[in-house]
Amino acid sequence: MNFGLNQEQILIRNTVRDFAEREIKPLAKELDEKGQFSVELTKKIGELGLFGMYLPEKFGGQASDTLSYIIAVEELARIDSSQSATLAAHNSLGIGPLYYFGTEEQKQKYLPQLCNGNAIWAFGLTEADAGSDSRGTKSFATLNDGKWKINGSKIFITNGASPVSVGVTAQVLTKNEGEIKEFTTIIVEKGTPGFKQIPMHNKMMWRASDTAELYFDNCEVPYENILGNIGQGSKIMLSTLDNGRLSIGAMGLGLAQGALEMAVKYSKERKQFGKYIHNFQAVSFKIADMATKVEMARALLYKACILKDQHKDFGKQAAMAKLYCSEIAKEIADDAVQIHGGYGLMKDYDIERFYRDQRILQIGEGTSEIQRLVISRKVINE
């Protein structure tokens, strides 16, 4: 089923799928084992036109719609979540805030360099004490003589410290008076004195993507590095997460699709009791349930994308898509391992990597619990 995709969207799916099969799949296992970020693959993804693909052409984008972008993320995740994470975080969290809230001067300065694969950007929100509770942010900035002085830290920041990471948009406190807190987002470029980027290693998942700790020690940037207006940080953060939920949903959907395909393929190769195991109802019914969940997830996610492209409120659907796609990724990866039996626990089989990679999807971009909170509030207040 193609969900009524137009010719351009079908072409994007076929092009990205072919690229992922040819360029990423042969390297995915080795990069995962080494925990190595690939500059080469990142540049190739840029050359394919996937970075900033929804931006206007004047900024180096492809002027694609949201659904086309989500299809691209989905197809990368079908092969390797690490490369998909690099694309998703850069487009939704890195480029997104700069495009939607930046001044024309900021857009002209930053966006063109972020569309070619030679540079990627990060969004700094999470801190040691500020995860689901983003208002627990402790990093702060003071304004003196036309400059922001930033102190604090961020953690678990995707694309924050790779060899091609060139900056971050960080949420910081600019006022903290009793119960009154004011949050502002500020652009910090790589190489700014007092700004330190440290890669995080020994991850269970997304081992070939870049995850970083960021430190700000009396880090000074010009006043014009503010993104949006003073006190607009929470608005920017919430808008960014709405968009980011679509891409995380796409990662869950793509991973689930890939795991389903592995399970089907293995069921046609593995024999027990003289039969290929897909002939056993216990296996065939499991595959039927897996396929049904994938179709349901795709319909929910694509609907959210279409609403966004139609400039309609898509926040509830984005939260639903993120929740459902990440949850079924967990279920389908687990079922696929079960179908593989003992082999599914061995690194020789890609499903082992998929089983690990799915686990973050119920945590990143808002936990499953937070998604349920967002959805319930929207439903109750409708």
Q: Residue 10's Cα: distance from chain center in Å? A: 22
Which helix (H) or strand (E) is 349 found in, with range?
none
**In terms of DSSP H, where are the helices of the chain?**
7-19, 25-34, 39-47, 66-77, 81-88, 96-101, 104-110, 233-267, 281-309, 315-340, 350-357, 368-380
Based on the residue annotation, tell me whether 365 is a catalytic residue of this protein: yes
Q: Which structure tokens are listed for 276? A: 């290929």
Residue among 127, 327, 352, 365 flagged as catalytic: 365
Which helix (H) or strand (E) is 220 found in, with range?
strand 211-222
**Phi-psi domain of 102 (left: phi exceeds 0; alpha: psi -120 through 50; beta: other):** beta
Dist. CA 96–CA 239, nearest whole Å: 9
Among 131, 380, 358, smallest CA distance to 254 is for 358
Dist. CA 354–CA 206, nearest whole Å: 10
> Would you name the residues annotated as active-site residues?
365
